[in-house]
Amino acid sequence: MKETPAMNETKGRVEGLVAIVTGAANGLGFAVARLLAAEGATVFLTDVDPVGLSSAASDIGSSARTMAHDVRSEEAWATLIETIERSEGRLDILVNNAGLLRVGTIESCTLEEFRLQNAVMSEGVFLGCKHAIPLMARSGGGSIVNISSTAALQGFSPVLAYTAAKGAVRAMTKAIATHCLERDYGIRCNSVHPGNIHTSMNRERSSPEQAARRENTWEPLSNGSFGSARDVAEMVLYLASPAARYVTGSEFVIDNATIVTPARLPTPSA
C-alpha cells in the first residue's frame, strides 16, 4: 500500500507537553520518544546506556533531553522529577518502557534473575508512577502509559520472571488509574501490550529488510509477522494525547491478533 502525505503528517498532537520515556536509548523507547518529539513534546529520554542516549538524542534533535537513569533507584527517580520541575515546571506524560528479558521457566529461573527483572519492570513502574504523579497533578493532569506485554495476558512458560513482571504492570496500571480518578488528579493511566515487535529482544527472528518495510509502510501484516516499534509508538502517542481524554484503566494489545488466533494443531493422519 502506497503511503499518502496524510499518513506522515505531523499534527502536533502533544505540542507543548513535557514527557519522560524510560529505556529510550533504543528499541521501543527510542521510537516512542522520537514520535512524541516529532509531535511537539519536550522529551526526557532516560536509560542506563549513556552512549545510546547520546545517539538517540542526536537523532531526535533539540526537543530531546537526556539523563542516565536506573529505574530501580528511588533516588534516581526523585532526582529526575526534581530536574524536570526545575527546568520545565511541569510534567504531562510518563512512558514506563524500560525492561529486560531473560529466558527461564519456573524450574530454571533463579531467584536472582526473578528479582532483577521484577526490579526493573515492576518496581521501576511503581517508582516512576509514585514520583511522577504529584508533579503531573500540579501540572493539571496528564497521561501515564505503562508498557506491558502480551505475556501478561497469556501464560508464557519460557520467560517466567518477565511474564510475572509484566503481569504486575498490567494490574498496577488499573489501580493507579483508579487512584487518580478518586483524587480527581486528571491523570490517565493505561497499559500497552505489544506482541512480536522487531526490537533488540527478538531481532534475530526477523530480518532487517522485513523490519524496514514494516517501519515505513502501512501494508497489512500476515499471520505470524513481526510488527515495528513505530506500531507501538503510534498507540502510545494516542494515549498520551488529548484525543484519549476519556481513556483510562484500559489495556491495549498490539499483536496482529496473535493471542486470539487459535493454535494450529497437527492434521490427524488418515
Interval 53-85: pLDDT, tens: 999 999 999 999 999 999 999 999 999 999 999
Spatial separation of the C-alpha atoms in residues 68 and 270, rounded to whole Å: 62
Residue whose C-alpha is closest to residue 91's, from 130, 138, 134, 136:
136
pLDDT at residue 155, as a whole number: 84
Query: Mean pLDDT, the chain, as a whole number?
Result: 89
pLDDT at residue 218, as a whole number: 46
In contact, 36 and 240? CB cutoff 8 Å: yes
- Please give the class, per CATH, of domain 12-198+230-254: alpha beta
Query: Which residue in the list 162, 185, 238, 246 is annotated as catalytic?
Result: 162
Question: Is 185 one of the annotated active-site residues of the chain?
Answer: no
Could you tell me the pTM of the whole model?
0.87
Q: Is 86 exposed, middle or buried (0-12, 13-18, 19+ CB in 10 A)?
A: exposed
Q: Is 79 exposed, middle or buried (0-12, 13-18, 19+ CB in 10 A)?
A: middle
